[in-house]
A and B are shown apart, each in its own frame.
Chain A
Amino acid sequence: MIEYRIHGRGGQGSVAAAYLLAAAAFEAGYTCQAFPAFGAERRGAPVMAFVRVDKKPILLRSQVRTPDYMVVQDDTLLIDPNLANGLKPEGAMLINSRKPTEYFAERFSQRVIAFPATELAVAAIGRPIPNTALLAALLALTETVPQSALADALRGRFHGAVLDKNLALIETAAKAVEAGAWKEVAHA
């Protein structure tokens, strides 16, 4: 089972990202589970969402405490020193940031990649919503779930121009990272 934890701020689409990731995994033939850390938070507040991907039915219902992967949609969240608590030692973290990877790498023993998803999103869809770009990058890095599954998941959620722009965005984003770089981190 692979466990993911997505951090973001209300309005950035963290829950949507979790659902998309789960849906992509489902498209790729996995079982999946995605849910938010349910809160009463409003737009702008820190939020979390969780994803589990496995080949057999997922029984566990707790929050993801020891993720294999973390996605941080907003680098300002890293002001919280405990944000990455529980990330497996062999785990990896994808951070949405214009800063270079090096800027974060020294703070964590796990692997970290900084990725300017917001810029890509603004360029592609005209809105600063980084979630699909981050997912594409994550999938490219892990290669557990193919990009086509994410595209299918997107097709289940969006249509028209929004879909087209997002499809273009994930293609760009996937190419912007090193494919299979985190392949060995975890297996479903």
Chain B
Amino acid sequence: MREALEGSQAIARAVALTKPEVIAAYPITPQTHIVENLSKLVADGKLKAEYVSVESEFSAASVVLGAAAAGARAYTASASQGILLMSEVMYNISGLRVPLVMTIANRAVGGPINIWNDQSDTMAVRDAGWIQLHCISNQEAVDTTIQAFRLAQETGLPVAVNMDGFVLTHTMEVIDMPSQEEVDAFLPPFEFADALDPERPRSMGTLVDPNFFPEVRHSHHAAMGKALARIEEIDKAYKKVVGRASGGLLTVEGDKKAKVGILAMGSVVGTMMAGLEDFKDEVGAARIIKLRSFRPFPAKALRAAVKGLDKLVVIDRAISPGLGGVLGTEVSAVLSTLKNAPKVYNYALGLGGRDIPETMYRDLLTTIEDKKAPRFAVFDADLDKLAPEDR
């Protein structure tokens, strides 16, 4: 049913549709509205779940780990510093191959403290072994959240659903909420074959020595590789039931024949598509690659998606100081095996919540027309604000 809903509220309702058994979360801006809404659903008796109000994100992650390990469908949400505080547990969750779902309401990581949107938090845990999906709208966030639960239990891996903080979480827009019947048809009850069980008392989280650790890591990596196909299949399966897909691993939008492309994740993709509409006459239409799956990284699909491109702008919402953009670096690495790889321009935008106007589409395309265009820049930084020695 179509409704005008705030993103956080919609996510809370989507989570409720999956019938989670245990929810644990610690409040942090801009994730708060999600957990507030979930708490209310529990308080109102609309959601039968154990809501565990923990004392830190660290414990939130640990609680859902324990809950899922004990065989319960579990969910948490966090952002920013919370994700970093969770990071140790996140490695653990994936390493123990415990399936659960987390929403990351993407936010910058301090210091200096900054509560606004970018994707530094999820990038900081890119190696934590989680499936990381990005959404460009609240509709996608709702659909992806529901898909994530099935993905987690089918792959035996935890799934983080990324949605830009404020830009999506605090935005009211029209969302088509799937019905309970649809979700029930799509998502089977939670099952975790390796769950703790007195009937078959196994030990999880054993000490693995050098004799086996490389194999363990390999198997984790291989599982992520296999998850690529699952992400697409599950998106299709969802479409079959609900009538709407969220873009598999990645989708190509805009002018599919264009020689210039823009690759991005999250809500900025929408702004770029709006910019394309408004400025195609001025600077031409670009191919827009909307990357949904950041982990596992869809290298093959990406190589196919950039075919024929001369130039590719990769928009990063986080940087790795001393190197450049995180996504851009990864895209470059993946495309390096291509014979006619497009030239990659990696620009960080909107760090710490700086507004990204649709004119950015035009500015990006104009910039790369220049042969001397930098291959990496914090694109919207106004260096005049800095002391000369800091530029």
Instruction: List the interface of chain A (C-beta within 8 A of B).
Output: 18-19, 22-23, 25-27, 31-36, 38, 40, 58-63, 65, 153
A153 to B3, CA, bound (A): 11
CB distance from A109 to the nearest CB of B (A): 23
Q: Is the interface of B mostly helix, strand, loop or mixed?
A: mixed
A32 to B139, CA, bound (A): 13
9-residue interface stretch from B51-59, B60-68, B151-159, B167-175: B167-175
In contact, B172 and A19 (Cβ under 8 angstroms): yes
In contact, B174 and A19 (Cβ under 8 angstroms): no
In contact, B115 and A40 (Cβ under 8 angstroms): yes
Q: Which of B251-289 contact A (CB under 8 A)?
A: 267-268, 270-271, 273-275, 277
Q: B6 near A: Cβ within 8 Å? A: yes
- Identity of the chain A residue whose Cβ is nearest the Cβ of B360 in the assembled complex: A62
Residues of chain B contacted by A31 (CB below 8 angstroms): 173-174
In contact, B30 and A35 (Cβ under 8 angstroms): no
Q: B358 near A: Cβ within 8 Å? A: yes
In contact, B173 and A58 (Cβ under 8 angstroms): yes
A78 to B239, CA, bound (A): 50
In contact, B268 and A35 (Cβ under 8 angstroms): no
In contact, A38 and B270 (Cβ under 8 angstroms): no
- Identity of the chain A residue whose Cβ is nearest the Cβ of B167 in the assembled complex: A61
Residues of chain B contacted by A65 (CB below 8 angstroms): 357
In contact, B116 and A35 (Cβ under 8 angstroms): no
In contact, A61 and B173 (Cβ under 8 angstroms): no
Q: B377 near A: Cβ within 8 Å? A: no
In contact, A34 and B171 (Cβ under 8 angstroms): yes
Q: B50 near A: Cβ within 8 Å? A: no
13 A-B pairs whose Cβ atoms sit less than 8 Å apart in the complex: A32-B174, A33-B172, A36-B166, A38-B115, A40-B115, A58-B173, A59-B270, A59-B271, A59-B277, A60-B270, A61-B268, A61-B270, A153-B4
Q: Which of B1-40 contact A (CB under 8 A)?
A: 2-4, 6, 30
A138 to B313, CA, bound (A): 41
In contact, A22 and B173 (Cβ under 8 angstroms): yes
